[in-house]
Every structure is written in structure tokens, then in C-alpha cells.
Amino acid sequence: MQTMTILTGAGISAESGLGTFRSREGIWARYDLAKVATPEAFARDPAMVHEFYNLRRDACIKAVPNEAHIALARLQREWPGDVVIATQNVDDLHERAGASVLHMHGALMRARCAECGHRWPAPIVTQATDLCPHCGEATTRPDVVWFREYPYFDDEISLAVRRSDLFVVIGSSGRVYPAAGYAGIATRAKIRTMEINMERTDGNFENGRYGPATETVPRWVDEVLRAQDV
């Protein structure tokens, strides 16, 4: 049976009210990435970094999954083959829609100990002085992958792409690696690729569907489930 790997980015959560990163009013237009999303930033000012993620965690719990998240969870449930969903997003909207996902950039709703690596469900507000429940050190950080940190699940996702019949990228500008490199892996392996976005990116996809994810994703899911073919 045909298998699919789907990679999502901030665009799939945009209509749930969570910001994207690289639009004119995006997150990186309002915050200096170097001050909130690198290990150096955390070493320099952990309180500011925690505040940045506390604000995003607060927005995340107030947001609800949209029709695109719900459609992907349905596809994962009803498709007879494997559907691997990897996300660059740190929100939990895919899970709250019922999907299982690989969070390659970590998760807002998890905290991590910078000392021993222990992970636990994050309270709404985290601070650098929070004690790690495992080792007791005051070295709490968000369990999020910052720039120049190794993403989670990179090998698993690359493998999933290589064994897929179709690789789909939904709501990503394709600017951040290694996530942006998976489309090239698929293309070189002669695997079909498609992007779903508001606009064409320079990712050289074989196919594209353009428009808001809450319209384009449910329509595509309905089509593949009806056709039982990618």
C-alpha cells in the first residue's frame, strides 16, 4: 500500500491564529531570532527566552486546531498505508486534532533540563530558576530546538521520505534546514512531491496546491481518500 510523508510548517497553524515566521508581520519581524532562539541567547538572557516561549505557549493553549490539522489526522486514521507526519511547529495543534507527529523542532508544551536532558510537561509559565524534577538543578529550558542545535528525528524523517510514494510539504517557506532539504531527498529518489501553500516557494515541487490550508488540505485529503491513490 502507498505510503506518504507530510512535513508541516507554521502556515498550517496560521489560520488558528498562531503567527508564521517570515511574513511582514511574522515572529521574526517582531523578535530578533538571535535574542530568543539560539543557545547563545539562552546563555545570555534566559529570562527573555523563557518570556518569549511563555507568550507563545499562552497563545498556543488559546488556539484550536483548524480544518487542516483535522483533515491530516483523518488521513492518518483512514489511509490504508503509512502516513508519517513531521512538523517544524512547536505547537500541539496536530496532536489536539488527533494526529501523531514527529516534532523535529521540539514542543512548546514540554520543558527540558539543560543539565541532565530530562524532559517533562511544561507548566504554562516556565522560568530558568525552575528546578529540574529529575536532577534538581535550576537549569530549565523550553524543549525547543534552536538554531545551531540538532533537530529531533532527522534520520527517521529522512528514512520515511525515502520509503514514501509521495512527500508533501504544507505551509512552509522551505528556508530552514534540514527540514528544507527533505524535498531534495525525495526528488533525487524520484519520489513524487507536492507543496500546499499560499504561494509557490522555490522548492521545485512536482505539484502544488495554493490557497489557505483550511481549504486546500481538506480538499486534497478528500480526493486521495476517495481515489485511494496518491
Which residues bind to ligand BV8, rule: CB under 6 A? 9-11, 14-15, 20-22, 26, 37, 88-90, 105, 144-151, 171-173, 175-177, 197-199, 201, 212-213
- Counting Cβ atoms within 10 Å, is residue 103 exposed (0-12), middle (13-18) or buried (19+)? buried
Query: Half-sphere exposure of 3 toward its Cβ, with a 13 Å CA cutoff?
Result: 11
Which CB, 22 or 118, lies closer to ligand BV8?
A: 22
Indicate the Cα dihedral angle 9, 48, 152, 107, nearest 10°: -60
Distance CA 104, CA 151 (A): 5
Which CB, 90 or 221, lies closer to ligand BV8?
A: 90
Least separation in angstroms between CB 143 and ligand BV8: 10
Which CB, 11 or 46, lies closer to ligand BV8?
A: 11
Distance CA 158, CA 118 (A): 26
Q: Can you tell me which residue has the cell 496518491?
A: 230
Is there a catalytic annotation at residue 105?
A: yes
Residue nearest ligand BV8, CB atom distance: 11
Q: Which is catalytic among the residues 94, 105, 118, 134?
A: 105
Least separation in angstroms between CB 207 and ligand BV8: 15
Least separation in angstroms between CB 20 and ligand BV8: 3
List of E strands, the chain: 4-8, 83-87, 101-103, 106-113, 119-121, 140-144, 166-170, 192-197, 207-210
Residue 15 is classified by DSSP as: G
Which CB, 2 or 158, lies closer to ligand BV8?
A: 158
Distance CA 59, CA 27 (A): 13
Which CB, 60 or 224, lies closer to ligand BV8?
A: 60
Least separation in angstroms between CB 68 and ligand BV8: 7
Least separation in angstroms between CB 129 and ligand BV8: 21
Task: Give the residue numbers annotated as catalytic, written as ranges.
Answer: 105
